[in-house]
Amino acid sequence: MAFASDAPKDGFRLSMLIYDTRYRSYTIQIVVLVLFAMAVAWLLNNTAQNLAARGKEFNFAFLWQRAGYDIGQQIIPYTNDSSHFRALLVGLINTLVVAFFGCIFATVLGVVIGVLRLSKNWLVSRLMTVYVEIFRNVPLLLWILLTYVILSETTFQPKDFRLTDEMVAAGQPPLASMMFFDSVAVTNRGTNIPSPLFERGLGTVDLGFLSLNLTLLAVIAVIVGSVWVNRRILASARVTQEATGIRPVTWWKSILVLFAPIIVLLVAMGFHLEVPTLQGFNFKGGILIAHSFTAMVIALTLYTAAFIAEIVRAGIQAISRGQSEAAFALGLRPGRTMNLVILPQALRVIIPPLISQYLNLTKNTSLGIAVSYLDLRGTLGGITLNQTGRELECMLLMMLIYLTISLTISAVMNMYNKSVQLKAR
């Protein structure tokens, strides 16, 4: 009996890099990589030649030069004698603060509006629809400007809070008065709120480029520790309930763990509030929140909430009606059904597009320059760039920072997204 022998194997030939499917994909990838590297090398070389022709060199030494300009809204200490790097940090923190509050408020408002859009009440659902259509179809910049103008033009001047002897004699009240037990004053210059002070604070540690407030770190550490302990208590109660069918009483433990440590710490450090008072032509003491910051938070919240509402509505509608009908059959009310049955399942649909909205909100903070809010765009990409003439360095550094922030937000949200996904068993 004759057997067919295997076909002889040919040796490797250069033509196989093109015609052989085993090697063609590698050839294409290598060629594309080489072309990309050549394009990057040409771009860098061309940039270096243009800079040399203008008598410039690529370096970041300007970051340690004196900034020479003031920043109204600042969380860490800063003066016009500080360096441009310090101004960069102040602008970066201002960006992160606006993005943080904007994401929180927009999420809460967007979830509420998204749920109400599905309400069986015709008037409520139509009003929410009008809100969504108005805010998402008007440019964000216009909402920022409108909010800033309203805050600046419709509020009283500091002198309107003054009560003179003639007004007292005539029984006439001042034109404006402070709110919340005479602790908050809203003027055309900003909002003055009480400032937390500590008689026995823990001080600060100067790291050169940044000062760490040990008092604030201690407060944050106690709050985080209390929340972690409370979660452990609730988890232990859940395990006991699953094992015995009886859930232990934990409300008093949660209250004690969440509030007792922070209260003890605040009392030990002599916590008190410094209430702003009218002195001269303006309020002194407390914390001044600029209208530019308030306008940014309000506009970003209202604008982004319209998009989040649509995401939430789509996520809820993606859940089968059988889920809610089963919950109703068990006797759950509509509110409990939404909180315990529908929304937890809808999160798997809501989270991915929600990440994009958080990224958009963070990048939209750069519009704060329109209302003189000096964030990262206003400091590094604005005044610092104009003063030093380092356009390339400032733009590259600003792009790198925004990229880092965006990738960090994406990574955190992706971790949360994986935690709420269905687990295969």
Q: What is the DSSP string of 411-422?
A: HHHHHHHHHHSP
Residue 229: per-residue pLDDT? 94
Compute the distance between CA of residue 292 and CA of residue 374 in angstroms, rounded to an integer: 9
Q: Are strands 204-206 and 277-279 parallel, antiparallel or unpaired?
A: unpaired
Residue 139: per-residue pLDDT? 94
Handedness of CA 79, 82, 87, 89 (dihedral sign): negative
pTM, entire model: 0.83
Q: Give the C-alpha distances (Å, rounded to integers) separating 133 from 124, 295, 322, 425.
A: 14, 21, 30, 43
Taking only the tens of pLDDT, the chain with its 425 residues reads 445 455 445 566 777 777 777 778 888 888 899 999 999 999 888 888 887 887 777 888 888 999 988 888 888 888 888 889 989 999 999 999 999 999 999 999 999 999 899 888 899 999 999 999 999 999 999 999 999 999 999 888 888 888 887 888 888 888 888 888 888 989 988 899 998 888 888 888 777 666 778 888 899 999 999 999 999 999 998 888 888 878 888 889 999 999 999 999 999 999 989 899 888 888 888 888 999 999 999 999 999 999 999 999 998 888 888 888 888 888 888 778 887 888 888 888 888 899 999 999 999 999 999 998 999 999 998 899 999 888 888 999 999 999 999 999 999 888 888 877 766 55
Cβ atoms within 10 Å of 228's Cβ, excluding its own: 11
Cβ atoms within 10 Å of 76's Cβ, excluding its own: 14
Compute the distance between CA of residue 131 and CA of residue 135 in angstroms, rounded to an integer: 6
Contact 116, 314 (CB under 8 A): no
Measuring CA to CA, which residue among 341, 307, 281 is closest to residue 157?
A: 281
Q: How far is CA 24 from the centre of its chain?
A: 46
Q: Please report, for the chain, the start and end positions of each structural domain, with discontinuous segments joined by +.
A: 87-194+275-374+404-419, 197-271
Residue 7: per-residue pLDDT? 47
Helix (H, G, I), strand (E, B) or coil at 191: strand
Measuring CA to CA, which residue among 362, 367, 331, 304 is closest to residue 144?
A: 367
CATH class of 87-194+275-374+404-419: mainly alpha
Q: What is the CA radius of gyration of the chain?
A: 30
E-only strand ranges, 145-198: 185-187, 190-193, 195-198
Residue 53: per-residue pLDDT? 82
Compute the distance between CA of residue 360 and CA of residue 110 in angstroms, rounded to an integer: 15
Q: Give the C-alpha distances (Å, rounded to integers) separating 285 from 273, 333, 360.
A: 10, 49, 36
